[in-house]
Amino acid sequence: MIMRWSRWVAVLLVLAATAVAATAVAAMAVAAPARAEEGGRLRMLTWSEYLDPDIVRLFEHKTGCEVKASLVATNEDYTVKLAHGGADFDVISPSSDLTSIMIKLGLVEPLNTSWLGHWSDVEEVFRRHPGITVGGQTWAVPFTWSAVSLAYRTDKFADAPSSWSVLWDWRLEGRIALWDDKSSIYLAARLILGDEVDVFDLSDAELATVTQKLIEQKPLIRKYWISAGELVSLYTTGDVWVSDAWDAVIPVLREQGIPVERRTPKERATGWLDAWQIVRGSPNTDCAYAWLNFVISPEGQCASHRANGFAGVNRKALESCLSPEAFQALGFDEVEKVEFWREPRGVDRYIASWNAVKAAQ
Domain at 186, CATH number: 3.40.190.10
Domain range for residue 102? Answer: 5-143+271-316
For residue 55, being part of any structural domain is answered with yes
Half-sphere exposure of residue 213: CA atoms within 13 angstroms, side-chain side: 21
Contact 313, 143 (CB under 8 A): yes
254 and 276, same domain (yes or no): no
On whether both 12 and 121 belong to a single domain, the answer is: yes
Residues 135 and 41 in one domain: yes
Q: In terms of domains, do 239 and 164 share one?
A: yes
pTM of the model: 0.85
- 260 with 151, same domain: the answer is yes
Residue 39 confidence (pLDDT): 63
Through-space distance between the first and last CA atoms of the chain, rounded to whole angstroms = 19
**Which residues 6+ apart lie within 8 Å of 160 measured at CB?**
152, 154, 261, 263
Residues in the chain where the model's pLDDT stays below 70: 1-39, 85-86
| Domain co-membership, 155 together with 96 | no
pLDDT tens sequence across 14-39:
344 334 333 333 333 344 444 455 56
Structural domain count of the chain: 2
pLDDT digits (tens, 9 = 90+) for 254-277: 999 999 999 999 998 899 999 999
Q: Is the same domain home to 13 and 123?
A: yes
Answer yes or no: is 41 within a domain: yes
Residues 58 and 87 in one domain: yes
Residues 130 and 160 grouped into a single domain? no
**What is the C-alpha separation between 277 and 320, in angstroms, rounded?**
26
